[in-house]
Structure 1
Amino acid sequence: MSVYRPLRRQSTALKLTAFCTALLVLLAVVTVLNRTPADAAPTVALPPPGAGFDYQIGDPYTPPNGVEVVSRDRTASPAAGLYNVCYVNAFQVQPGERDEWDDDLLLRDAAGNLVIDEDWGEPLLDLRTDDQRRRVAAKVNGWIDGCADDGFQAVEPDNYDSFDRSKNLLSTEHAKTYLKLLADHAHSRNLAIAQKNTAELAGDREEVGLDFAVAEECGEWDECADFADAFDDHVLVVEYTDGGLATACAGFADRLSIVLRDEFVTAPGSGEYVRRTC
């Protein structure tokens, strides 16, 4: 009898090991099946590299032949049959819209004066506390919901780099933490989200949750490679000078979507309208 006891103990141990292994496999399957959307990687459509592109955030118009991707303001309708990017001014306040914001969400300096982007006359939003960031994000995410409901495929939150104009009141961490709130919400609505400019933060795209880039004047400022490398060529380039267009096209015509527009992105017939590609 003593000969068989070790064998019985060994058999029991093997059965227990097999049972534990099966239990772990079952738990893993249940975890996957019950995974929430927030746990899963976002599945969003990206603008294809090198696609024909038009930038229409000023006045929308019928896209020229060959255009596959168009960016338009959130107040405009998407272009039928194309990949549409929805522009939202996410870090600053559009002229004429100050009354739509709580006063404590407008950035002020030590003297109590509004901090203004002087080029466009736009007050900066105050993103210094978690409460402020979440309240600003709640409003902007409402706009993002509108983009999704209207049929856009992506969103372009502008002025990510407003910390550079904040009199050192805002930091890159404020900007990234806030933009991640927008990115998470955009993904929950099956929208891709762009990094707008701000080449120095392109390396943080995965941390923030950004999918592609909209790069203004990357040819002019020799930044196109930074965006192309960080975003695997999913980059929409907007130039405003002949020199910038020439530089962008010389290095990236076969990789990136590149267009030259007039500064105020007007429609044909405006007298200021400019649009050229490589």
Structure 2
Amino acid sequence: MIPVLRRIGVPALAVLAVIGLGFGAAEPTTYTLPPVNAKFDYQIGAAYTPPSGVTVVSRDRTATPAAGLYNICYVNVFQTQPDEISWWQTNHNDLLLKDSSGKYVVDGAWGENLIDVSTPAKRTAVAAIVNGWIDGCASKGFKAVEPDNIDSYERSGGLLTKANAVALLQLLALHAHDKGLAIAQKNTTALGTAGKNAGLDFAIAEECGRYNECDAYTSVYGNNVIVIEYTKNAFTKACNGYGPSLSIVLRDLNVTAPGSGTYKYDAC
């Protein structure tokens, strides 16, 4: 199917001001959403040759895009990658979230420190770092960016809020669009329409079939939703409910490559 094409121009008041001065409007930046209901592969754990028929793939920002496909660039925005914690501590320790006793706030399930986005100044600093990564995604040839752990505020012990997360997303969306990239809402049904209002273009939803949440994404983004399930039962359930309209895949939880012993892939 034909991807949706969006255009981002200068703000309306700026356009009016330019026209009023007799100058032409600036050429808008264009970006393309992933094709709807395309065969997808989720490769954020390891990059490998996509299965036959795959036209959309998501890979880590450190990976090379798959040639000839629509590539989504995975970026862990609101938490640290486990192997990058020392880099953050050395270079940006002030941007790691700490509790009242000065201890780092950590997502224990994945061993990832939470990023402190609680103030405008810290969000600006975080955006400067992440926007540099987004620049790298664009220069490599990715077509979209996938900012992960938007819901870190739920694991912050009340130190962060949903509004903090949305404010950072707005900064990232502006920059991604300026670089010609679409940007996804990764999980987080609690956002409602706030993510789209902040500039997000489509959704990547883990286990929405398992938890009966897919409607929360389609009600905001229509069929511009990519679904990843990690159990066969949930995958079958998602396919039965949304297979004709959404991109849906079955993957193993650690999103490993073929030959790993735990690799799992299916699509409907």
TM-score normalized by the length of structure 1: 0.86
Q: Confirm or deny that 1:177 pairs with 2:177.
A: no
Q: Confirm or deny that 1:118 pairs with 2:99.
A: no
Tell me which amino acid in the other structure corresponds to 1:168: G
Tell me how far apart the structure 1 counterparts of residues 139 and 18 of structure 2 sit (CA, whole Å): 35
Query: Secondary structure at 1:179's aligned position in 2?
Result: helix
The Cα shift of 1:227 comes to 0.8
Q: Confirm or deny that 1:251 pairs with 2:241.
A: yes
Go from structure 1 to structure 2 and tell me whether the alpha carbon gap of 1:183 and 1:27 turns closer, same or farther (over 3 Å shift).
closer
Query: 4+ residue runs of structure 1 moved beyond 3 angstroms?
Result: 26-37
Tell me, yes or no, if the aligned pair for 1:85 and 1:152 is still in contact at 8 Å: yes
Tell me how far apart the structure 2 counterparts of residues 242 and 31 of structure 1 sit (CA, whole Å): 61
Mapping of residues 52-71 of structure 1, within 5 Å: 52-71=39-58
Q: Confirm or deny that 1:201 pairs with 2:191.
A: yes
Gaps of 5+ in 1: 1-25
The Cα shift of 1:206 comes to 3.0
The residue number in structure 1 matching 2:262 is 272
Go from structure 1 to structure 2 and tell me whether the alpha carbon gap of 1:231 and 1:33 turns closer, same or farther (over 3 Å shift).
farther
- Among residues 145, 148, 151, which one is paired with 2:135 in the alignment? 145
Report how many residues are paired.
250
Tell me which amino acid in the other structure corresponds to 1:200: A
Percent sequence identity is 55
Tell me how far apart the structure 2 counterparts of residues 34 and 135 of structure 1 sit (CA, whole Å): 34
The residue number in structure 2 matching 1:230 is 220
Tell me, yes or no, if the aligned pair for 2:206 and 2:227 is still in contact at 8 Å: yes
Larger Rg: 1
Tell me how far apart the structure 1 counterparts of residues 48 and 22 of structure 2 sit (CA, whole Å): 46
Tell me, yes or no, if the aligned pair for 2:18 and 2:24 is still in contact at 8 Å: no
Q: Confirm or deny that 1:239 pairs with 2:226.
A: no
Gaps of 5+ in 2: 1-15
The Cα shift of 1:98 comes to 2.0
* Cα displacement string for residues 176-218 of structure 1 (whole angstroms, at most 9, x for unaligned residues): 0011111100001000000000012131233210001110000
The residue number in structure 2 matching 1:218 is 208
More helix by share: 1
The Cα shift of 1:29 comes to 4.6
Mapping of residues 1-12 of structure 1, within 5 Å: none
Q: Confirm or deny that 1:162 pairs with 2:149.
A: no
